[in-house]
């Protein structure tokens, strides 16, 4: 059987999900391309990590978002189990602080019912404080959406790509797309810094750069501009809400959220600042933006801890498309070119459903019958979580591999064994450049109270040894961020 060659541009949550779904088919040869040294380092890296409920998107204005969000929510319930992705299904409260907010809650309730969201309802003040006692006393009621959840976004991308690679997908990391070859109205392949990738189908899942990739193929009817959101994360042990707390939304944003993220840290954000198209790398936080987030969060959660308890601030970018809705379609003027563009919120939620939508497009619009593999494995290889094991199981593990008895990250109890397993998994999906961030996103090392000041030198030593490079060739986040001389001196002294 001649295989149809598919090139997916972008290894974020959307591209990874498409790769996993297309890996089910015997007659496809799937290539996943990303300019970054690891997967999930674009838009997917910095967001609120919420699996939304599907009540927010107007099906008349944004039909793709409305359809795919609720489908994606349902699929995530299956995917997190198959792929061992950190998750919690804790529900969301959209809080009314003024009497007029209830009009918007009624709109959201009706919209959610149209979109097929189950079990949502408006709760009064008494029930609201039973669900979330720490809320501001000014809260009057809320829309309760039980199906909302949270996941680890980059761990999710990593898990999906591992499973896709295990099912035959080929990755091309540190591979920047520089052109799309089109002949006689049909795609022929992708021109990159690492050579030419032949392709019969090109799927543009390039996030913030999807408009630029589309223009390489001669498709030029939409533009992507970045919308920045800023966040605060607090030290562990700070009490936060059990549910995801939203204010009543505005026309451009779901509002500043207060939540306890998947690792147990109180997190607040984001705001929403529209940036010009040329600022697609602008992830700098601003004093004004962070103050806006702080004030917005206090309206819902007045007992924010002192700022001395903040361990990190950061900003993420969302790709806002012309028209506001997801752009998911086969482009008629260029056969074989499929745009998956403008995947802004609720893109994380929708990703699994987007992947199945793309498979349908390949069959329906390109006329390619997809043949399912007889043996396709939906499960990720089991991962060892040292910090989650019982005392007895830790002892058994250490007897088999003493590296699990050497704690590297004290804050999150990450052992050398965990880091060695992370390195093995990095190499499995094609990560060529050793980086501290690649270890961080797989183990949680460097994300605790000390933000890596204790464990970073030891991680550098392990990466240098396992990749066969000098310590100063180890990077923070890929080429161009090599460890400096000061870090090397620390390693030499053994501190």
User: Residue 185: which region, alpha, beta or left (left: phi > 0; alpha: psi -120 to 50)?
Assistant: left
Angle (nearest 5°) at CA 93 between 92 and 98: 160
pLDDT confidence band for 396 (50 / 70 / 90) = confident
Distance in angstroms (rounded) separating the CA atoms of residues 103 and 249: 12
Is the pLDDT assigned to residue 412 strictly greater than 90? Answer: no
Q: What is the mean pLDDT of residues 56-63?
A: 96
Q: What is the mean pLDDT of residues 80-91?
A: 96
Does the annotation mark 31 as catalytic?
A: no
Among residues 31, 52, 225, 265, the one annotated as catalytic is 52
Distance in angstroms (rounded) separating the CA atoms of residues 327 and 339: 6
Is the pLDDT assigned to residue 386 strictly greater than 80? Answer: no
Q: What is the mean pLDDT of residues 276-288?
A: 96
CB 259 within 8 A of CB 297: no
pLDDT of residue 495: 43
pLDDT of residue 387: 59
CB 493 within 8 A of CB 458: no
Between 493 and 484, residue with greater pLDDT: 484
Is the pLDDT assigned to residue 119 strictly greater than 90? Answer: yes
CB 444 within 8 A of CB 155: no
Q: What is the mean pLDDT of residues 490-494?
A: 47
pLDDT of residue 1: 63
CATH topology of domain 86-149+225-318: D-Amino Acid Oxidase; Chain A, domain 2 (3.30.9)
CB 191 within 8 A of CB 321: no
Is the pLDDT assigned to residue 337 strictly greater than 50? Answer: yes
Q: What is the pLDDT of residues 266-281, one digit of tens each?
A: 999 999 999 999 999 9
pLDDT of residue 252: 66
| Nearest partner of 128 among 104, 93, 178, judged by Cα | 93
pLDDT of residue 397: 81
pLDDT of residue 493: 44
pLDDT of residue 398: 86
Q: Using the Cα atoms of residue 347, residue 152, residue 310 and residue 248 in order, give the sign of their dihedral.
A: positive
pLDDT of residue 287: 97
| Nearest partner of 456 among 414, 421, 427, judged by Cα | 414
Q: What is the mean pLDDT of residues 10-32?
A: 98
Q: What is the pLDDT of residues 297-312, one digit of tens each?
A: 999 999 999 999 999 9
The pTM for the full model equals 0.95
pLDDT confidence band for 404 (50 / 70 / 90) = confident
Is the pLDDT assigned to residue 96 strictly greater than 70? Answer: yes
Between 45 and 384, residue with greater pLDDT: 45
Is the pLDDT assigned to residue 462 strictly greater than 60? Answer: yes
* Pairing status of strand 149-151 against strand 50-51: antiparallel
Q: Domains of the chain: which residue ranges?
A: 1-85+150-223+322-382, 86-149+225-318, 386-493
pLDDT of residue 179: 98
Measured CA distances, 157 to 13, 111, 153, 272 (Å): 5, 30, 6, 24
Is the pLDDT assigned to residue 485 strictly greater than 70? Answer: no
Q: For domain 1-85+150-223+322-382, is the CATH number 3.50.50.60?
A: yes
Is the pLDDT assigned to residue 156 strictly greater than 50? Answer: yes
pLDDT confidence band for 67 (50 / 70 / 90) = very high
Residue 346, preceding bond cis, omega within 30 degrees?
Answer: yes
Between 405 and 131, residue with greater pLDDT: 131
Q: What is the mean pLDDT of residues 449-459?
A: 91
* Pairing status of strand 224-234 against strand 87-88: unpaired
Q: What is the mean pLDDT of the chain?
A: 94
Q: What is the pLDDT of residues 167-223, one digit of tens each?
A: 999 999 999 999 999 999 999 999 999 999 999 999 999 999 999 999 999 999 999
Distance in angstroms (rounded) separating the CA atoms of residues 478 and 306: 34
The residue count of the chain comes to 495
């Amino acid at each position: 059987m001649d295989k149809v060659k598919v090139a997916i541009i972008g290894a974020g949550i959307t591209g990874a999900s498409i790769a996993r779904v297309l890996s089910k088919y015997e007659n496809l040869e799937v290539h996943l391309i990303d300019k970054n040294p690891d997967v999930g380092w674009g838009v997917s890296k910095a967001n609120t990590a919420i699996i939304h409920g599907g009540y927010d998107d107007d099906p008349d204005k944004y039909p793709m978002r409305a359809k795919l969000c609720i489908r994606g929510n349902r699929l995530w319930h299956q995917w997190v189990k198959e792929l061992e992705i950190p998750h919690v299904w804790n529900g969301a409260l959209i809080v009314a602080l003024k009497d007029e907010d209830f009009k918007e809650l009624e709109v959201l309730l009706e919209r959610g019912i149209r979109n097929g969201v189950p079990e949502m309802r408006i709760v009064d003040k008494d029930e609201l404080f039973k669900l979330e006692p720490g809320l501001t006393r000014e809260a009057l009621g809320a829309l309760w959406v039980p199906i909302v959840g949270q996941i680890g976004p980059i761990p999710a991308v990593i898990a999906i790509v591992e499973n896709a690679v295990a099912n035959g997908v080929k990755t091309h990391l540190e591979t920047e797309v520089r052109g799309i070859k089109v002949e006689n109205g049909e795609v022929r392949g992708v021109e990159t810094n690492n050579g030419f990738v032949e392709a019969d189908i090109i799927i543009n899942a390039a996030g913030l750069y999807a408009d630029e990739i589309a223009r390489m193929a001669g498709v030029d009817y939409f533009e992507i501009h970045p919308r920045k959101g800023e966040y605060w994360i607090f030290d562990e042990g700070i009490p936060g809400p059990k549910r995801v707390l939203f204010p009543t939304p505005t026309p451009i944003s779901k509002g500043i959220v207060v939540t306890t993220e998947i690792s147990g840290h109180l997190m607040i954000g984001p705001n929403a600042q529209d940036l010009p198209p040329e600022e697609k790398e602008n992830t700098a936080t601003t004093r004004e933006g962070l103050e806006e987030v702080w004030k917005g969060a206090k309206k819902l959660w007045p007992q924010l801890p002192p700022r001395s308890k903040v361990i990190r601030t950061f900003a993420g970018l969302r790709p806002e498309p012309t028209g506001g809705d997801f752009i998911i379609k086969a482009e008629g003027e260029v056969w074989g070119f499929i745009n998956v563009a403008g995947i802004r919120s609720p893109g994380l939620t929708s990703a699994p459903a987007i992947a199945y939508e793309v498979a349908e497009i390949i069959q329906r619009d390109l006329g390619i019958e997809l043949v399912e593999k007889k043996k396709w494995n939906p499960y990720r290889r089991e991962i060892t979580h040292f910090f989650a094991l019982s005392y007895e199981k830790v002892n058994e593990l250490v007897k088999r591999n003493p590296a699990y008895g050497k704690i590297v990250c004290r804050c999150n109890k990450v052992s050398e064994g965990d880091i060695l397993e992370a390195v093995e998994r990095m190499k499995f999906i094609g990560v060529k450049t050793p980086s501290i961030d690649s270890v961080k996103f797989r183990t949680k090392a460097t994300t605790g109270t000390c933000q890596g000041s204790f464990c970073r030198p030891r991680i550098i030593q392990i990466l240098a040894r396992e990749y066969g490079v000098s310590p100063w060739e180890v990077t923070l986040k890929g080429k161009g961020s090599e460890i400096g001389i000061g870090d090397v001196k620390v390693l030499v002294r053994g501190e």
